[in-house]
Amino acid sequence: MTRRDFAKGATTAGLAALAGCATTEQADNAGAQPAEDTYRIIDPHVHVWKNDPKYPWPESLDNPPEDDALPEPLLALMEQNGVARTIIVHVIYYLWDCRYAADVCKRYPDKFSGVCRVNPESATAADDLTKLVEQDGFQGVRLSPSTGERGDWINNAELMDPIWKRTSELKIPMLILTGTRRLPDVARWIERYPGIKISIDHMASCPIDAADELRKLTDLARFPEVYVKISHTWRASNQEYPFRDTWDLVKKLYDVFGPQRLMWATDWPAVENFCGYAKALSLVRDEMDFLNKDDKRWILGGTAERLWPYPAA
């Protein structure tokens, strides 16, 4: 996702002045199969940022977002839609400075957990990751190899081995943001470090009508610790909500990975420019008629708790 996409998503309407925090929710045991009649809804992918000198934009950022994406309106949306917890993925705007996401998670520890980013081309990346996890409380790391030459660092063993090894040692999940063309390169590292839980974000931007590209994604199902976020249907679609032209793609992923390895996600605030937070949830919960109740329990929360187990409330 480009910076322009993020800025476009953070519309004034989507970030209207909302306030409040979510109420205490009924919960299942951490990591267990969701109960038959109740389960926690967990959004495993949002971003936050703030125009504030305390959290300066990097000099290389040409067009910083004008609107903020603050935790308070997000908390209100969570409460309104019955979302119990949310994973804040450190936004690319700040590059490798993860302080704002860390501070938000520390301010609302009962609602947010965080995923950091490290510079994959830095010799200190593994040690940076340790600090972010052990001192700043992050519970995951994200790598974003582009499909072009600038993402070729994913094939550099001197850079990658320390990061993947440290991720394994820290026992945290790794998020991968990339396109399907890069997945065969990522697969080699997954095979080398099989104990890491891997989230393939946004279905690897797989086109809805490209069978060869889809096979690169479904091939990863051979690794039992690979999970897929079935988010960005609204970005891939050529139709209006409920984006039915993307359902076949989601169904194929469902058939291969199963519901226990799929996760919904809003990608707030970018979603506000497409269908909005509430419809991102209702799309899976109410519209996709090929999902049964048990499927939804996993996709809307149970799967995320396999990567980020929470104590019972």
Residue at token pair 């409460």? 79
Q: What is the number of domains present in the chain?
A: 1
- Structural domain includes residue 252: yes
**Tens digits of residue pLDDT in 134-162:** 999 999 999 999 999 999 999 999 999 99
Give the confidence band of 310 by pLDDT, cuts at 50, 70, 90. Answer: confident
For residue 177, give the nearest of 159, 163, 198 by alpha carbon. Answer: 198
Residue 312 placed within a domain = no
Q: State percent of the chain over pLDDT 90.
A: 86
Measured CA angle at 33 (ends 204, 198), to 5 deg: 25
Phi, psi of 226 (to 5 degrees): -100, 130
Q: How confident is the model at residue 312 (pLDDT cuts 50, 70, 90)?
A: low
Range of the domain at 60: 3-19+34-307
Specify the DSSP class assigned to residue 49: B
The answer to whether residue 137 sits within a structural domain is yes
| Neighbour tally for 302: CB within 10 Å | 25
Residue 29 lies in a domain: no
pLDDT for residue 21 is more than 90: no
| Domain assignment present for 75 | yes
Cβ contacts of residue 166 below 8 Å, gap of 6+?
Answer: 126, 127, 129, 130
Taking residues 240-260, what's their average pLDDT?
A: 98
The mean per-residue pLDDT over the stretch 178-198 comes to 98
Write down the pLDDT at residue 123.
97
Q: DSSP letter at 298?
A: I
Q: Is the pLDDT of residue 182 over 70?
A: yes
99-134 per-position pLDDT tens digit: 999 999 999 999 999 999 999 999 999 999 999 999
Q: Report yes or no on 210 lying in a domain.
A: yes
State the pTM of this model.
0.88
pLDDT at position 12 is: 34
* pLDDT score of 37: 56
Per the prediction, the chain carries an average pLDDT of 90
Say which CATH number the domain at 121 has: 3.20.20.140
Q: Has residue 26 been placed in a domain? A: no
Report, as an integer, the average pLDDT of 241-270: 98
User: Is residue 25 one of the residues assigned to a domain?
Assistant: no
